[in-house]
Structure 1
Amino acid sequence: MLGKPPAPEDVIRVTPQDGAKGVRPQTPLLVRVPGGRLESVKVVRSQDAQETPVPGRIAADGLSWRPDGHRLGLAARYTVDAVALDRDGNRSARHTTFTTYVPEKRFIGYVTPENRSTVGTGMIVSLEFNREIENRAAVQRAVRVTAEPAVDVRPHWFGSTRLDFRPEEYWAPGTRVTVALGLRDVEGAPGVYGLQDKSFSFTVGRSQVSLVDAAEHTMQVRRDGDLLATVPITAGSPKNTTYNGKMVVTEMLELTRMNGATVGFKKADGKGEYDIPDVPHAMRLTASGTFLHGNYWADDVFGKANVSHGCVGLRDVKGGAADTPAGWFFDRSLVGDVIEVVHSRDKRVAPDNGLGGWNLSWREWNAGALE
């Protein structure tokens, strides 16, 4: 009388076990047989309402299957379907499932610039993380910035919550840059895992670099290396000087309110030294509040004197107009354009104040990366 065929779970052993919950990402995924051989193994990961085959291979001896990757995805359901022959040639099939750990804490990176945008040649790719990153090397490895035509792009950390990328020199016009965030399930800090697995791209437009000479009260605007115009300006007053150095346009506003109290310029009563509700053609240069903007309230100072609280001002009219110096420059500018200030009686802008990373040498920039 023939014996009863062995149960499928005795022929095909699956780790993690069937029905397991909260499986940690470092747990090995393994399908094996104590004898005989595996005929086929199919593993599918269901995550974020998407099903993805898990690639892997059966060992040469037919006794085991392992995935190509080393870590399980988080907040996912895995399905394993395996078929094997036992030592006696009996075929068995097994279907198992398990679910992985759902972390309570996640981190994301807010990325500059915007997807599908066209930017100036000075744009720096910047990620601001919503949580402190302790395992910065792992997070850095999970972010890839590539360019077409190809150029060497390197990372630089500013503290534990900001990671920037730039090439050695300004981007070449026409370059297409792709940012791939492979942060999903990367452990950025103990118990804190990344959420994003996505890619986006932007295009570099024409080159425009403008040189503000605070002593001469002028701004030279160069397009693709050629002098487009020299515009009279007013910069920071002797009491409130403008930063020197290279600054990148990060925001462009047709009209905006500027209140000195928000950037430290307060009167004794706590109110701002100025409060202008409708500043025209405002272009942000630093996170601390430096703008290049239109000015309709100053008198005959452009090209002659520095009277601002640290911003660079161009002549304008109330409400803004296209035929003023400020309107002309605004209409010809892009986020990502570079404004460099020289001959001001102030320090050089900090490299993490806005997108000020161009003020670091290539050697200094590379010193801020992790292997």
Structure 2
Amino acid sequence: MSDKRVKTISWGIVGCGTVCEVKSGPAFYNCSNSSLIAAMRRDEAKAKDYAKRHSVEKVYTSARELIDDESVDAVYVATPPGGDRIGIAKMVADTKKHVCYMEKPLGRDVNEAKEIVSILQKANVPLYVAYYRRCMPKFVAVKKALDQKKIGNITGVSVTLHQSRHLQKDKSHWHYDKEISGGGLFMDVGCHMLDLVDFFVGPIENATGRAFLSVKDQIVEDNVRGMWEHTCPVDGRRFGGSCVFNFTSGGPRRDEIEITGTLGSVVVSCFDTKPAQLKLDSGNEVVALDAKHPYTVQQPMIQLLIQDILSKTGCGINAGLDLDPDEFLCNGEAAVRTSEVLDKLLGRAKWTDDYMIT
């Protein structure tokens, strides 16, 4: 990272698609000490339309041109995993930007994720990955409850996600293109839940799993089941975890991470606004961990990221976020861990032109 001191980070977005409309894009001009000055999309008309609606000054159709713009301090990479993330990382590294913020999952497999991390580390460009739920108030409340041992010593973790196959009727969407997504909805949304497990209770170890294609109207797996282990960093205790992801469910939606301890459990949904619940005294006492759901869901993480970067350039700010960036932000190392777990649960190890092979 350059030694140049800045008081406001000027952002450029590479790939200003759907995720940039509400989830992320507005955060770059609504956060303190931040501005969004450039947007890139290969479709010039769509890029100009985005820029007009979000008051973005500069429009590009080439990632290289945006990244070469010296007025752009930091780059948000919002392309799909198969959108040449490695090439974009090399461009960011060449120009020594203040920061690279990249969408999740970091790559189509762990090898791509590791290469992206290595490229940016060698150039001393900080990398953050958009596992943004870590900083959303609901999940912050769960993390604090666990750290305060509200449920005692953790003894197990289970992850369940059942989604109706009828929710996504367009099977031509890039989520279902294995060369772009790396592995369907499991890669796109399952990664969020697995990152939260890592965030809440520590790294997932010795993961193993199986993936299945149970409905023949797509070419990527729609069912994933797996198990793993954790090690308590305090006393070395071991406990287990498991997951069931079913994207062809015809039944009711299920969305929960349940963490069980010696004094109770905490249950939190990943993809809705329902409050998390502490269940104590064998479930006889239930405490809601209510928290406000931000409209722009990535804004808390982006604000903490900006706060962290500016503090390292000697222009620290206080944006009112009392969160430790080393704990709540997702760096490249943590993102690589999640990519490795995704690969192992899918039973895959390496990306090739013929998809992934073990």
TM-score range for the pair, normalised by the shorter chain length = under 0.3
Which of the two has higher C-alpha Rg? 1
Q: Please state which structure has a larger fraction of its residues in helix.
A: 2
With the length of structure 2 as denominator, give the TM-score of the two structures.
0.24
- Which structure has more relative contact order (CA 8 Å, sep 6+)? It is 2
With the length of structure 1 as denominator, give the TM-score of the two structures.
0.23
